Amino acid sequence: MQKQLQKITTDMQLEEHFLTLEKALLALYFHKNCTTKSLAYITNLPVPIVSAMKKEFAKQGWGKHSLTKKGQLAISQYFQLSGADAKLYLQLTTNDAFRTEWIKQNKSELNIIYETRPTADVAIDQAKCTVETALKRALLALDYTMLLNKRILCLGDDDFISIALAFILKKIAPHSTTQIVVLDIDRRILCMISEIAQKYELPIKTDYYNVQEPLPKTYAHHFDCVYTDTPYTLIGAQLFLSRAINALKPEAMRHVFFSYSKRSYQKQWQLQQSLHAMGFVIDSIKYDINTYEGAQILGATSSLFVLQTTDQMTPYIPNQRKFMRPIYTGEIERKSVVYQCINCQHSLTVGAHHQYTTIVQLQSSGCPICKNKKFLQIKRTVQKTQFQHALGHHILLELHDCDVALLKDVQRIKTIMSQAAHKAKATIVNEHFHHFSPHGVSGVVIIQESHLTIHTWPEYGYAAIDVFTCSSKLDLQEAVKHITEQFNAGNATQHYVHRGK
């Protein structure tokens, strides 16, 4: 059936992937009857496209506004819906009040399992989410048509999202062929999930994996969606998401449900720049889903990004070799906190390389002098590793609507670029510029601190310029200002990139 859906997508020249057709067919199956307008609302497609889609369904003999017996059988077999609870599916996907109540009623069933989770290992940025959070996250797979007849990866799973996914799956479609895989560095997590899966006959497979190693070929381009709650560092998030890209099937419209701690606006901007560079579309950001048990570093909450893949996915970090840089908070930001016992005033330092690495451990053990379990924070220090400092500063300058005659003048361009280097207070080492036939100029000014480069397209009135330095003392903006003015650009944009950070 998937080949038929792919052919319909091609025949319709549908920009959306065939997964949109799956969503439409599931709606027809569970709702029994769908008007064109209601199906357009469900699939987020324009009415004319939905109308054309229905005609294609009718050509296959599946039905138009409602499914034929042939259509019901085809969809039931494709999604393995034998014994499916249609009423529950509809209520969970269309009724927010029911969904909230259903979570409240069912979380007690999972509480027994979740209470047995291993203690959080803060050295690898673990923080256990609540049962309610796990169910809310798992239900997102249902919302985005990523639960039935799919392959789901939990990349790190101290939150036991795999258990919540399997729990919901058994309630809705007990005979589904959905496969859930857990990859984690913590063998305690893997062992416990494996035991639970075996005991309750859940479709979960577990395997040891250190995300700093390349993703094994067994799991490459294998999954429809990925769940991941990454380290609290930007580089940690970039690495986990890069591995997620490697794991997802190459077609567009796959999903990553990505949880990340709330950060400053500047750090959120850096994160979103990374998401854009990798090719993700941010479908939505959920601020009311993630809550954690005793996670002070997170403020007990985090954001959940629903990311959608495109045809231009590029991992931020390649999958060819082991990633050697530190990725966890404790490695990058070495924190130590001095606490004072409120009873006897005895002071202790908590942090890496100390007897107690977390305040939770100290509170559990109690003051070594009087056994009191209440403490007052006295002092907090943070030492960042050198990886936090950029090795280079890079401006990508885009100049549109420039003086066309100037874009062809190799000598004038050479002069402008040399002057720009001087204005930045750089030391010029060498210069080389070349005029191409019939038009276009490329050139480089090698400076002691790095380089300035240019390539022009006179036929488009456009110039692409790089200004790069490994010295924080140069005034790059003076160079950019001079270049922009001299080329008389009608439209200039620049992108600032920290290199080696």
Q: Any idea which residues carry the catalytic annotation? A: 450, 455, 470
With 0-12 / 13-18 / 19 or more C-beta atoms within 10 angstroms meaning exposed / middle / buried, residue 413 is buried
Quickly tell me which residue has 């797979």 as its tokens. 141
Residues shown for the chain: 501
Rounded CA Rg of the chain: 28
Cα within 13 Å of Cα(1), Cβ side: 20
- Alpha-carbon distance of 433 to 436, in angstroms, equals 10
List, in sequence order, the alpha helices (H) in 337-475. 359-365, 404-407, 410-423
With 0-12 / 13-18 / 19 or more C-beta atoms within 10 angstroms meaning exposed / middle / buried, residue 457 is middle
With 0-12 / 13-18 / 19 or more C-beta atoms within 10 angstroms meaning exposed / middle / buried, residue 437 is exposed
- Name the 3-class secondary structure at 243: helix
List, in sequence order, the alpha helices (H) in 283-354. 329-332
Q: Measuring CA to CA, which residue among 319, 315, 378, 322 is closest to residue 345? A: 378
Tokens of 300: 């007990």
Q: Measuring CA to CA, which residue among 445, 441, 323, 454 is closest to residue 396? A: 454
Cα within 13 Å of Cα(434), Cβ side: 4
Residue partners of 398: CB distance under 8 A and separation at least 6: 462, 464, 465, 492, 493, 494, 495
Helices vs strands, H then E, count in the chain: 17, 16
Q: Measuring CA to CA, which residue among 366, 363, 335 is closest to residue 351? A: 335
How does DSSP classify residue 287?
E
| Residues in a beta bridge with 256 | 226, 307
Using a CB cutoff of 8 Å and minimum separation of 24, what contacts does 204-210 make?
A: 204/162, 204/163, 204/166, 204/180, 205/179, 205/180, 205/181, 206/181, 206/182, 207/181, 207/182, 207/183, 208/183, 208/184, 209/183, 209/184, 209/185, 210/185
Tokens of 488: 């008389």
Task: Please report the sign of the dihedral spanned by the C-alpha atoms of residue 370, residue 372, residue 376, residue 381.
Answer: positive
